[in-house]
Amino acid sequence: MILTDLPTAIQRSDFASDFLWGVSTSAYQIEGAAAEDGRVPSIWDTFSATPGKVRDGSSGAVACDHYHRWEEDLDLAQAMGLNSYRFSIAWPRIFNGVDAEPNAKGLAFYSKLVDAMLARGLQPWCTLYHWDLPQYLEDRGGWANRATIDAFLHYADVVSKHLGERVRHWITHNEPWCTAMHGNWDGMHAPGNKSLPLALQVCHNVLVSHGLAVPLIRANVPGAKVGIALSLHPVKAASDGAADRQAVLRHDALRNRWFLDALYGRGYPELALQLVGRDAPQVLPGDMEAIAATMDFLGVNYYFPEVVRDAPEQYPLRTSIVYPQDRQRTDFGWEVSPQGLVELLERVARDYPAGDLYVTENGSSYDDHLDADGAVNDTARRDYLVRHLAAVRDAIAAGANIKGYFAWSLLDNFEWAEGYLRRFGLTYIDYPTQRRILKQSGRWYSAFLQAE
């Protein structure tokens, strides 16, 4: 299928025949069934129940009811012509206490989910941690307590042994920046702390838990491919002035290089360490080596570039994010910049020995409406998708080794602190009835994937 009504004609045959075409989802955002089959509360249940934390006062208690409707959802993914599917495991379904035995019902749910993916020709991509820490672990210090690293490794061990014969692709953590910084610095996400040193310690411990999980998963799963999914942003200067250009370097040092440098064996960037000073995390001997465990791929989650200016009053980076008026934006206010994706992928491929790259999330939120005729005409989201796929194609042409693309997301879902106010799905969820309606964007993706 060649699109002529968009600036960028694009077709599936522009990509390698073994390119992975997927969608991404996460457990807390879609599953619901919060108290079923032995699941215990996660930090997101607690956070959502705290007044003022989630904008519409909602929670993931029901969400898309995927826990009961998973067959329909996987049917939809199959019908779209996808060949891969990224999901996450809810840790609180697997362990209900510190010394607990694994919960057989929790394991059984993911086992049948994975079987159903395989039966539909969807390659399972399993994320172990997509932000839903069991509350009982938070109660003893959460990720800032190194005991949580051990708990994570035990959880990773049990799950990878259980699913490993069928799941070859493993993502340890989704977006450690968000876990650490939104969770503990700006407090926008669960558990809602507001302390930079705490956030940096969480960040470090999460990265250590990642690094230690890599060999463990490989030992359990012959032929496993293990990586991490980072939320990365190209960083742009608000002006051509020297001060703003310096601000870019400082912002990038913590926002992107903190993760990339550490994961690829270069330690935390000197510039970032200087800026955070005494708030730097405690690093034990062997930690940096652990974090730098060789990965099989890097997952890049891309949404928008960040534009920064010099802001001497802002501790610790002395930068401030700005939102120039002249940019195209989604209804969420996020800048639409396919060029940012090209630049980001080229940068990662150029600056780091990352090997295979996957876009593990990319998508847009618009205020969709169900039309009287039952359709959802999300033309803006379709265009976003087309233009970002063209960006992936261009980055490949420029030499970046990109092997797959996972759109965020299959379904509208619980968008964290925004609740149900933001819709990212290729499929519309009519929440009162839980009816699934493939949007124009989803129909486009499907036609693109199934065109001759």
> Are the C-beta atoms of 395 and 402 separated by less than 8 Å?
yes
Residue 247 or residue 300: which is nearer to ligand FCB going by CB?
A: 300
Looking at residues 182 to 221 of the shown chain, list those that interact with ligand FCB (rule: CB under 6 A). Answer: none
Q: Binding of ligand FCB at residue 26 (CB under 6 A)? A: yes
Determine the Cα–Cα distance for residues 217 and 293; give it in Å rounded to an integer. Answer: 12
Minimum Å gap between C-beta 43 and ligand FCB is 14
Q: Residue 16: is it exposed, middle or buried by C-beta count within 10 angstroms (0-12/13-18/19+)?
A: exposed
Helix or strand holding residue 308 (H, E): strand 306-310
Minimum Å gap between C-beta 82 and ligand FCB is 18
Q: Binding of ligand FCB at residue 424 (CB under 6 A)? A: yes
Residue 19 or residue 44: which is nearer to ligand FCB going by CB?
A: 44
CA dihedral 390, 392, 396, 398 (to 10 degrees): 70
- The catalytic position among 138, 175, 306, 335 is 175
Determine the Cα–Cα distance for residues 444 and 226; give it in Å rounded to an integer. Answer: 31
Q: Could you identify the residue written with the tokens 């495991």? A: 89
Check if 175 is active-site.
yes
Residue 152 or residue 414: which is nearer to ligand FCB going by CB?
A: 414
| Segment lying near ligand FCB (by CB under 6 A), choices 172-180, 219-227, 390-398, 429-437 | 172-180
Determine the Cα–Cα distance for residues 298 and 277; give it in Å rounded to an integer. Answer: 29
| Segment lying near ligand FCB (by CB under 6 A), choices 11-19, 40-48, 170-178, 281-289 | 170-178
> Are the C-beta atoms of 39 and 90 separated by less than 8 Å?
yes
Minimum Å gap between C-beta 171 and ligand FCB is 11
Minimum Å gap between C-beta 434 and ligand FCB is 20
**Binder of ligand FCB out of 178, 276, 376, 411 (CB under 6 A):** 178
Minimum Å gap between C-beta 231 and ligand FCB is 5
**Identity of the amino acid at 62:** V
**Binder of ligand FCB out of 387, 415, 417, 442 (CB under 6 A):** 415
Q: How many helices (H) and strands (E) does the chain have?
A: 17, 13
Measured between alpha carbons, how far is residue 264 from residues 169, 269, 292, 297, 352 in Å?
A: 20, 12, 5, 12, 7
Q: Binding of ligand FCB at residue 330 (CB under 6 A)? A: no
Determine the Cα–Cα distance for residues 26 and 55; give it in Å rounded to an integer. Answer: 20
Compute the C-alpha angle 394/396/401, nearest 5°: 155
Q: Binding of ligand FCB at residue 361 (CB under 6 A)? A: yes
Determine the Cα–Cα distance for residues 239 and 248; give it in Å rounded to an integer. Answer: 10
Residue 29 or residue 440: which is nearer to ligand FCB going by CB?
A: 29
Residue 65 or residue 418: which is nearer to ligand FCB going by CB?
A: 418
Residue 328 or residue 450: which is nearer to ligand FCB going by CB?
A: 328
Q: Binding of ligand FCB at residue 31 (CB under 6 A)? A: no
Determine the Cα–Cα distance for residues 137 and 99; give it in Å rounded to an integer. Answer: 11
**How many residues at the interface with ligand FCB, by CB under 6 A?**
12
Looking at residues 292 to 311 of the shown chain, list those that interact with ligand FCB (rule: CB under 6 A). Answer: 301
Residue 80 or residue 181: which is nearer to ligand FCB going by CB?
A: 181
Residue 143 or residue 408: which is nearer to ligand FCB going by CB?
A: 408
Structure tokens of 105?
């019902």
Helices (H), 336-432: 338-351, 379-397
Minimum Å gap between C-beta 76 and ligand FCB is 19
- The catalytic position among 138, 306, 335, 361 is 361
Question: Among 165, 160, 85, 73, which Cα is nearest to 121's?
Answer: 85
The strand pairing partners of 359, in sequence order, are 300, 405
**Binder of ligand FCB out of 148, 179, 231, 446 (CB under 6 A):** 231
Q: Binding of ligand FCB at residue 175 (CB under 6 A)? A: yes
> Are the C-beta atoms of 105 and 43 separated by less than 8 Å?
no
Q: Binding of ligand FCB at residue 45 (CB under 6 A)? A: no
| Segment lying near ligand FCB (by CB under 6 A), choices 50-58, 153-161, 174-182, 399-407 | 174-182
> Are the C-beta atoms of 170 and 82 separated by less than 8 Å?
no
- Binding residues (CB under 6 A) for ligand FCB: these are 26, 29, 174-175, 178, 231, 301, 361, 408, 415-416, 424
Residues recognised as catalytic: 175, 361
